[in-house]
A = this chain, B = another copy of it.
Amino acid sequence: MNNSVDKIDQLKIGMTTTYSRIITDTDIKSFADISGDNNPVHMNDEFAKESRFGGRIAHGLLSASFFSALFGTKLPGSGCVYVSQSLKFLRPVYINDTVNASVTIKAIDKKKRRIFFETVCTVKSKKVISGEAEIYLP
């Protein structure tokens, strides 16, 4: 075993990992609770039905949080530091939608130990969130 292997040397452009999760009513209520965002479009069936979305939707940052999960637990994994994240919210996510989050390495700066990712969430093969992230690997 060689414990001195540098994790960044094992990373390559194009590496990707995914995480799928069904958004539940409980998830949305928990997110509202910890964020303080109880916008009725997330919380109130009657209000949401009358809105442009036609039903209650998940908070955009709830789906985006799956990127954090992928970075922190899979690629590059524990110990990494979140430097930045950009997010475009392209389509609504509804209760019981299955969100597929994926992060893909687009560039690596070994000197500065930075990894640059494309980050995407899809629902039924349609992009609901796109963006980019930068991760520092101490």
Contacts and interface: CB of A to CB of B under 8 A. Distances in A.
B27 A66 contact: no
B35 A33 contact: no
A89 B78 contact: no
Contact of A37 (B35, B69, B85): B69
A34 interface: yes
Given A27-B34, A51-B79, A65-B35, A42 B87 contact: no
A69 B33 contact: no
Nearest to A101: B36
Contacts of A37: 65, 68-69, 71-73
B78 A83 contact: no
A49 interface: no
A38 interface: yes
